């Protein structure tokens, strides 16, 4: 008898859903809109309805469903309770498995969406085969998710793996979104790279393709690939901050692998080439063996990781 699991990734606009075989193959995936009305109280019922419809469509009796995994946009404790609610959906504090099980009585597990995406990369993505992994998401901010001994590291308040706010620069004058100054996120996120670029360009008049048009992480790394010397200096500064930050992370959790994802990682392997040598320089000897890989699952990491909570 085949067995299945659903992976559910609840976002502020849409809920991504995947139907997975026990072997971790995604058999079907789709989205439903996130109904934020009434503090988001329709979201779980809407998801349950969509799952039940899919089970009917695919002729999957509830006995063949091993469970439902849920990634939620907030801190979740070990019991699946959304401890601080989720502001971008309007969710208050509630226990996700308990509510889901009112509609479909199978095992339900829930965790924070960033942690779940990290777990997805461990289970079926860039970290497959590893047990100790740090996922680094370079997007608008710098996020992270840490897997220790095959399990998600949640931390005391669900902030485990929030490496974007490690203090990395004493001489910063601008505030980070968190109100501290000199956070890793101020240099290694997409917006951080733009800041580094603007600062470098303001230093002198050296010619650069970056002086025309809008600057983004993409235009910076495109210019690096084209050999633009100024862009290369910007990439070096980015690599210095991120490599140093990840060396500190390695000194704490000693991972086998760093898996780099998020929009900035679309630059490809060249990004790692600016980070890894700096990491090697600053990391403690016994932690230097950590490998670097790009994330593989893109926006599907969340549904993979959610299903992996049940099947992994």
Among 23, 174, 214, 285, binds a second copy (CB under 8 A): 285
Name the minimum Å distance from CB 250 to a second copy.
Answer: 8
Number of residues that bind a second copy (CB under 8 A): 44
Tell me which stretch binds a second copy (CB under 8 A): 9-17, 49-57, 90-98, 252-260. Answer: 252-260
Please report, as residue ranges, which positions from 102 to 121 form the binding site for a second copy (by CB under 8 A): none
Q: Is 73 in the site for a second copy (CB under 8 A)?
A: no
Name the minimum Å distance from CB 270 to a second copy.
Answer: 24
Q: Is 252 in the site for a second copy (CB under 8 A)?
A: yes
Distance, in Å, from the CA atom of 120 to the CA atom of 135, rounded to the nearest integer, reads 10
Contact pattern from residue 158 through residue 197 relative to a second copy, giving x for each residue in contact according to CB under 8 A and a dash for the rest = xxxxxx-xxx----------xxx--x--------------
> Closer to a second copy at the Cβ: 130 or 294?
130
Name the minimum Å distance from CB 97 to a second copy.
Answer: 18
Tell me which stretch binds a second copy (CB under 8 A): 32-40, 147-155, 206-214, 268-276. Answer: 147-155
Q: Is 66 in the site for a second copy (CB under 8 A)?
A: no
Q: Is 254 in the site for a second copy (CB under 8 A)?
A: yes
> Closer to a second copy at the Cβ: 46 or 256?
256
**Interface positions with a second copy (CB under 8 A):** 75, 78, 131-132, 146, 148-149, 151, 153-163, 165-167, 178-180, 183, 244, 247-249, 251-256, 281-282, 284-287, 289-290
């Amino acid at each position: 008898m085949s067995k299945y699991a659903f992976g559910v990734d609840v976002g502020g606009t849409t809920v991504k859903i995947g139907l997975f075989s026990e072997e971790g193959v995604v058999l079907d995936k789709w989205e439903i809109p996130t109904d934020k009305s009434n503090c988001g109280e329709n979201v779980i019922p809407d998801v349950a309805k969509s799952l039940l419809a899919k089970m009917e469509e695919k002729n999957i009796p509830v006995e063949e469903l091993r469970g439902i995994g849920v990634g939620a946009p907030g801190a979740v404790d070990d019991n699946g309770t959304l401890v601080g609610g989720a502001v971008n959906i309007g969710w208050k504090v509630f226990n996700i498995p308990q509510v889901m099980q009112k509609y479909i009585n199978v095992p339900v597990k829930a965790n924070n969406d960033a942690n779940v995406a990290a777990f997805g990369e461990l289970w079926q993505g860039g970290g497959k085969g590893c047990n100790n992994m740090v996922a680094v998401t370079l997007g608008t901010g710098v996020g992270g998710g840490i897997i220790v001994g095959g399990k998600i590291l949640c931390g005391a308040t669900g902030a485990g793996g929030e490496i974007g706010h490690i203090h990395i620069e004493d001489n910063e004058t601008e505030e980070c979104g968190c109100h501290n100054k000199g956070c890793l996120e101020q240099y290694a996120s997409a917006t951080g790279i733009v800041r580094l670029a603007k600062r470098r360009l303001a230093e002198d008049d050296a010619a650069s393709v970056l002086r025309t048009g809008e600057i983004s992480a993409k235009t910076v790394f495109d210019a690096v690939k084209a050999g633009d010397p100024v862009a290369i200096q910007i990439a070096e500064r980015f690599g210095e901050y991120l490599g140093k930050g990840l060396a500190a992370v390695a000194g704490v959790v000693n991972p086998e692998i760093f898996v780099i994802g998020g929009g900035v990682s679309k630059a490809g392997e060249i990004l790692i080439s600016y980070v890894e040598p700096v990491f090697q320089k600053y990391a403690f000897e016994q932690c230097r063996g950590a490998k670097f890989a790009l994330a593989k699952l893109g926006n599907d990491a969340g549904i993979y990781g959610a299903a992996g909570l049940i099947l992994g």
